[in-house]
């Protein structure tokens, strides 16, 4: 899949459904605060992983992920990672 320049891959407070890996391009990780302030957290480049903490912990996304330029990605659908959420498979609590 690919995200075009100016498009959002993930929006703030949405539920994580995929684990993404950026193949090339650049993604901007940002957040909108309650007071309306726009905060840019980081710029991610090739081989970064997006959505891992939120997907495996079943928490909503606290950041937006915005494409600064054409960004090809590959992803793993959450059903492939569901077993990780089940506590009996993990040697530690989540």
Residue with more model confidence, 48 or 86: 48
The confidence score (pLDDT) of residue 1 equals: 87
pLDDT at 87: 47
Mean confidence (pLDDT) of the chain: 81
Cβ atoms of 27 and 67 within 8 Å: the answer is: yes
Instruction: Report pLDDT digits (tens) over 6-20.
Output: 999 988 888 878 889
User: In Å, how far from its chain's centre is CA 57?
Assistant: 13
Residue 44 confidence (pLDDT): 93
Does an H or E element contain 90, and which? Answer: none
- The neighbour count for residue 2, using CB atoms within 10 Å, is 13
Q: What is the pTM assigned to this prediction?
A: 0.72
Segment 55-72 shows an average pLDDT of 83
The sheet with strand 8-10 has its strands ordered as 8-10, 64-67, 27-32, 38-44
For residues 16 and 35, what is the distance between their CA atoms, to the nearest angstrom? 24
């Amino acid at each position: 899949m690919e995200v075009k320049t100016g498009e959002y891959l993930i929006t703030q407070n949405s539920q994580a459904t995929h684990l993404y890996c950026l193949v090339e391009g650049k993604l901007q990780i940002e957040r909108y605060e309650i007071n309306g302030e726009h905060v840019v957290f980081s710029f991610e480049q090739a081989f970064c992983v997006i959505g891992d903490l939120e997907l495996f912990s079943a928490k909503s996304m606290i950041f937006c992920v915005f494409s600064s330029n054409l960004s090809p990605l590959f992803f793993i659908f959450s059903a492939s990672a569901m077993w990780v959420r089940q506590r009996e498979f993990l040697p530690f609590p989540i």
